Amino acid sequence: MEQCLREGLPFPDKIANAPELLPGLELYYLAFMELTDSRQIGMGLGAIPWKVVHDYCEAYGLSDEQTEEMHHHMKEMDAAYLEHHRRKK
């Protein structure tokens, strides 16, 4: 970004069109990034296991409502992640 600003170049597409997270959603995004390496790999790329997400929530002391939301957001992000990787093939 600094180089683009310094040289008057446009920002790369991934930066210029990056999605914005609404306040409070960082919790779910950071968890996804941390847990993405927990997916089971065997016959292709697998989903992040439910138990891994649940254990994460317990380890960080999330409330029941936050845990429910975490499972929802993780499932949605994981589905998008897996779909993206399937399309790349």
Q: Which pLDDT score is estimated for 23?
A: 75
Q: Which amino acid is present at 11?
A: F
Q: Which pLDDT score is estimated for 68?
A: 96
Q: Which pLDDT score is estimated for 7?
A: 83
DSSP letters for 6-31: HHTPPPPHHHHTPPPPPTTTHHHHHH
Q: Is the pTM here over 0.85, yes or no?
A: no
CB 82 within 8 A of CB 47: yes
Q: Which pLDDT score is estimated for 4?
A: 76
Q: Which pLDDT score is estimated for 52?
A: 95
Backbone angles phi and psi of 45, in degrees to 5: -80, 125
How many residues comprise the chain? Answer: 89
Q: Which pLDDT score is estimated for 44?
A: 65
Which pLDDT tens digit goes with each residue over 20-79? Answer: 767 778 899 999 999 998 887 765 678 899 999 999 999 999 999 999 999 999 999 999
